[in-house]
Amino acid sequence: MDRPVRAHSRGHRRRSRDPDASVTRGRSLLVAGTTSDAGKSVLVAGLCRLLARRGVRVAPFKAQNMSNNSVVTLDGGEIGRAQALQATACGLEPSVRFNPVLLKPGSDRRSQLVVRGRVRGSVGARDYVRHREALRAVVAAELAGLRDDFEFVICEGAGSPAEINLRATDLANMGLAEAGDLPVLLVGDIDRGGLLAHLYGTVMILEPADRARIRGFVVNKFRGDVEILRPGLDELTRRTEVPTLGVVPFEPELWLDAEDSLGTVADAPVGRPGPPLGSRWLTVAAIRLPRVSNSTDVEALACEPGVAVRWVSDPSRIADADLVVLPGTKATVADLAWLRTTGIAAELVRRVRAGRSVLGICGGYQMLGTRIVDEVESGAGTVPGLGLLELEVRFAPQKVLRRVSGRAGTIAVSGYEIHHGRVVRRGDPALLRRSDGIPEGSVRDVVTGTHWHGLLECDEFRRRYLREVDRHSGRSGFVVSPDTSVARVRAAQLDLLADLVQQHVDVDAVIELAR
């Protein structure tokens, strides 16, 4: 895959190299969904990849996202992970322009508000209304700028446009379509059941002006003979006057870069790992914290042949695992309390005493220490950690947001940081050193921790770490693959998406909608 390039600024507009190209500058459309996780993100990524392969300068856009899976951009902000993947599909570096408003849930009632990549405070559903006009202006300005700079902008909705109780404050669905005069492609997931009712109901519940913007349907995750579905789609078109422009089949090989941490299900496997190269599998138990964030960190492990990764929420499921991963969280102190309540904390202590590997990432790393002082995120003050690392963390109001690089011994490593907690005391050897010489992370025998997200995507580091885990397991027969590349796996997934869109969606009709 070509190396991503920066999203160019509004002051340097680039003209199409082909004046006769079928796609002209400034086209845009909105991909909405009948429900959350209907397939909006993957369809946008597939369309972006396909258009980029055709030589079109295309960019993604999600006006407002709600997700704890985020990525740090080159300009030092954070955006939703799905928009970062879509940017990669376009051959672009992630930019705050592609996701100007991000809500990161910290509880059932309040979320951290991130605008143009920077934290603007915490909001609840009701007080969020106060921000709507300012946010509407931000969204409109970013979309207009992208349409100036790119030939095609593919927007992704949020949740469902059928949530008419939210229409007055909507920034990402029909509110965006109205403000940007966008045609809308509506995606439904047939795997959930009730697809025809979902599509029909979504259209018919809208006000006439919004309804008129729905210009095409796409069916996602179809299994079986499409001719059996055809009569229902024809009747749907007769009743709504909206054509079905694609029926995309279920593809089990698509799994990398999940849109939302909330999509991770306890006791569910991660990915589709190939068979082991040796005589046995290496097993990984990833703790499904209630407020898990950046859950995609463990996906790099699932890219490895013979590595079976599973989300778990029961202490009995971690006893026999070769490795337990404590991932990031948006509520470190609350999720630490949950570990103790469920008995997982005690099981972690037992397995470390038995010489079994544990890895903590970001919030999970903080939990492994001796003490957390938090007057910022939870307001709980001083809270004892699990005591598995000699580490004290203090939360600060200003969030750390940065891309980082360095070396773990002789291995070049990179990643990104998103956290409020600062290490104020570290008594164990550092895991690595940043490029500026500052130590990062901790290692104490079988316990490893780091604030860096994306570290496991560094192929050489991951291989070395898996060999250490295998050694501590006391078993034999697992063989680490010598050539697995997470970047290549991601590129292959994006190309598979583009191929599915090309084969099963009337792409020319979709392009024509945005004329």
The H or E element spanning position 200 is: helix 195-205
Per-residue pLDDT for 124 more than 50?
yes
8 A C-beta contact, residue 358 and residue 448: yes
* Helix, strand, coil abundance in the chain, percent, nearest 5: 35, 30, 35
Task: For residue 46, give the amino acid letter.
Answer: G
For 278-480, CATH gives 3.40.50.880
pLDDT for 174-207, tens place per residue?
999 999 999 999 999 999 899 999 999 999 999 9
pLDDT band at 353 (very low <50, low <70, confident <90, very high): very high
Per-residue pLDDT for 10 more than 60?
no
Q: Residue 25's pLDDT is what?
A: 55
How many other CB atoms are found less than 10 A from the CB of residue 196?
Answer: 17
Distance between CA 62 and CA 97 in Å, rounded? 9
| CATH class held by domain 27-255+492-513 | alpha beta
pLDDT for 453-478, tens place per residue?
999 999 999 999 999 999 999 999 99
pLDDT band at 264 (very low <50, low <70, confident <90, very high): low
Backbone angles phi, psi at 168, to 5 degrees: -65, -30
The SS3 of residue 458 is: coil
CA atoms within 13 A on the CB side of 404: 25
8 A C-beta contact, residue 457 and residue 84: no
Question: Structure tokens of 339?
Answer: 């570990």
The pTM assigned to this predicted structure is 0.90
Distance between CA 489 and CA 497 in Å, rounded? 12
Q: Residue 220's pLDDT is what?
A: 96
Q: Which of 251, 263, 353, 267 is nearest to 308 (CA)?
A: 267
CA distances (Å), 254 to each of 215, 275, 495, in order? 27, 17, 11
Distance between CA 465 and CA 325 in Å, rounded? 13
pLDDT for 363-409, tens place per residue?
999 999 999 999 998 999 999 999 999 999 999 999 999 999 999 99
Q: Is 229 left (phi over 0), alpha (psi -120 to 50) or beta?
A: alpha
Average pLDDT of every residue of the chain: 92
Q: Residue 45's pLDDT is what?
A: 97
Per-residue pLDDT for 261 more than 50?
no
Residues with a catalytic annotation lie at 362, 453
How many other CB atoms are found less than 10 A from the CB of residue 402?
Answer: 11
Cβ burial of 371 (10 Å; 0-12, 13-18, 19+) is: middle
- The long-range contacts involving 70-76, CB below 8 angstroms and separated by at least 24 positions, are 70/102, 70/104, 70/114, 70/293, 70/294, 70/418, 71/416, 72/401, 72/402, 72/403, 72/416, 72/417, 72/418, 73/117, 74/6, 74/403, 75/117, 76/117, 76/401, 76/402
Question: Strand runs (DSSP E) across 340-441, as ranges?
Answer: 357-361, 371-374, 381-384, 391-408, 411-426, 432-434, 439-440
pLDDT band at 132 (very low <50, low <70, confident <90, very high): confident
Domain 27-255+492-513 shares a fold with domain 278-480 = yes
Longest dimension (CA), the chain: 70
How many other CB atoms are found less than 10 A from the CB of residue 370?
Answer: 16
User: In the predicted model, what is the mean pLDDT of residues 253-280?
Assistant: 78
Question: Structure tokens of 86?
Answer: 């879509």
Distance between CA 73 and CA 129 in Å, rounded? 27
pLDDT for 226-246, tens place per residue?
999 999 999 999 999 999 999
**How far is Cα of residue 306 from the mean position of the Cα atoms in its chain?**
24
The H or E element spanning position 322 is: none
Per-residue pLDDT for 2 more than 50?
no
Chain position carrying tokens 């007055």: 168
pLDDT for 401-447, tens place per residue?
999 999 999 999 999 999 999 999 999 999 999 999 999 999 999 99
For the chain, the domains span: 27-255+492-513, 278-480
Q: Residue 259's pLDDT is what?
A: 57
